[in-house]
Amino acid sequence: MSRSAHPTWERLLDYAESRLSAAGTRSVRAHVETCDRCGGKLRDFDRLRDDFAAGDAGDAPESWLLRAESRLPIAGRAAGAPRVTFDSLVDALPGMRAGLEGGRQYVVEEGGVEVEVSIAPEGGDEPWPVSGQLLAEDTTRARDLDVDLLEDGRVVATVRATAHGEFLFAHRPRGAFRLRLRGPGVTLETPDLAP
């Protein structure tokens, strides 16, 4: 096959997919080996499939999609006050359901700052029943951050967060409690959280 007689795109694809006869395959191969244009088209085609295969893992589980949609805050919801944006009892993530594990996890958000709070299952051997982390865009907000644990409005424990904004309490609250974060970059008090 001469340079001037390029195989059609359809024939090139048939060649790439091994759908040609032996003679057809030989003919197209001989052309492609000496034709940059047709070789390039085939390489583009291969790359298209390879790229897709390398960057795709199929659809996310349907339950994830439904939860993602249901959790997105929509217009008109109150803004400004601290609010729980994630509660493992409500959102029922595998492994964090109270009925299964006895633990609970919250995410509280206020003004673009988030605090993740985890409460370990009662009766377990977790030395820090309450732990969490400040999740802020600006990680410097975690500097010099003190966290109070309040029960009945009274501070019962205070810890200094790590440079990563993590904090651990050895105290297990008897019931509902709040966390108050105090630092140069953050001041936030959570709503009541319950084990």
Footprint of other proteins on this chain (CB under 8 A)?
Answer: 8-10, 13-14, 19, 44-45, 48-49, 51-52, 54-61, 64-65, 67-69, 71-76, 85-86, 91, 93-96, 112, 114, 131, 133-139, 142, 162, 164-166
Q: Residues near 104 by Cβ (< 8 Å), separated by ≥ 6? A: 87, 88, 89, 96, 98, 118, 119, 194, 195
Please report how close the Cβ of residue 41 comes to other proteins at its closest, in angstroms.
9
List the strands of the sheet with 83-87, edge to edge: 83-87, 104-110, 113-119, 130-135, 166-169
Please report how close the Cβ of residue 49 comes to other proteins at its closest, in angstroms.
5
User: Measured from the CB atom, is 47 or 174 closer to other proteins?
Assistant: 47
- Pairing label, strands 113-119, 104-110: antiparallel
Please report how close the Cβ of residue 135 comes to other proteins at its closest, in angstroms.
5
User: Measured from the CB atom, is 134 or 181 closer to other proteins?
Assistant: 134
User: Measured from the CB atom, is 113 or 150 closer to other proteins?
Assistant: 113
The whole-angstrom separation of Cα 178 and Cα 155 is 9
Instruction: Return the axis-axis angle of helices 36-54 and 9-16, rounded to nearest 10°.
Output: 60
User: Measured from the CB atom, is 55 or 123 closer to other proteins?
Assistant: 55
